[in-house]
Amino acid sequence: MKQKLALESWARKDQFDFFRQFEEPFFGVCVQIDCTKAYAAAKEQGASFFLYYLHKSLVAINAIAPFRYRITDNEVWEYDKVHASPTINRPDSTFGFAYMDFYEDFRQFETTAQQEIEKVQNSKGLIPAVSGENVIHYSSLPWINFTAISHARSFSFKDSCPKVSFGKMTTQNGQSMMPVSVHVHHALMDGYHVGQFVDYFQELMNS
């Protein structure tokens, strides 16, 4: 389900009108997330750490309204829920796109997400997600402890989906850290909202 935002009464209408005209309206930040407690919790539960932190990020994202905004025909729509469209690595070093429904309950999410991972890993090609706009574009680079990242973009394709990338977790002195990159459409949100996501995501990873 989705509903149209009343642009004329939206506090960010001027920012929306300004940034939606840009050839590159996305901005991005890279942060370090403490994974020490989350990694231990996932292993204790016998859960995939990838699915564990992916789910935590979806919980945080769905709690912050601007991450559920999308632009269609110069109108802003708010989805009641957004899902995951992650890249899934295969044994032959290729990857495919997946689609995973978001559920508040981790075990329910884990069950359906694991089925999707197996489907992608046992197939060929990109398998584009068919969900439309109500997704977050996720990617994982578990080989790289990056400090910055950019994305391939087709500027002729009007895209307003946020993009979140996870890097290599490293451990030093008992503390495990992972780089996380967040790219969002500036017509829909500002650094304040990205900061809300980062803070809540970290809170969930510590819980």
Structure tokens at 172: 């030093």
Structure tokens at 7: 């642009």
Residue 120's alpha-carbon distances to 48, 57, 97, 181, 200, in angstroms, are 16, 21, 7, 24, 30
| β-pair type (69-72, 75-79) | antiparallel
Helix (H) or strand (E) holding 4, with range, is strand 2-4
Can you name the residues that pair with 30 across neighbouring β-strands?
181
Catalytic residue among 55, 83, 186, 193: 186
Structure tokens at 204: 């969930």
Active site (annotated) includes residue 185: no
Q: State how far the Cα of 162 lies from the Cα of 201, in Å rounded to an integer.
A: 15
Name the one residue in this structure whose structure tokens are 């895209």. Answer: 159
User: 147 and 30 in contact (C-beta within 8 Å)?
Assistant: yes
Looking at the annotation, which residues are catalytic?
A: 186
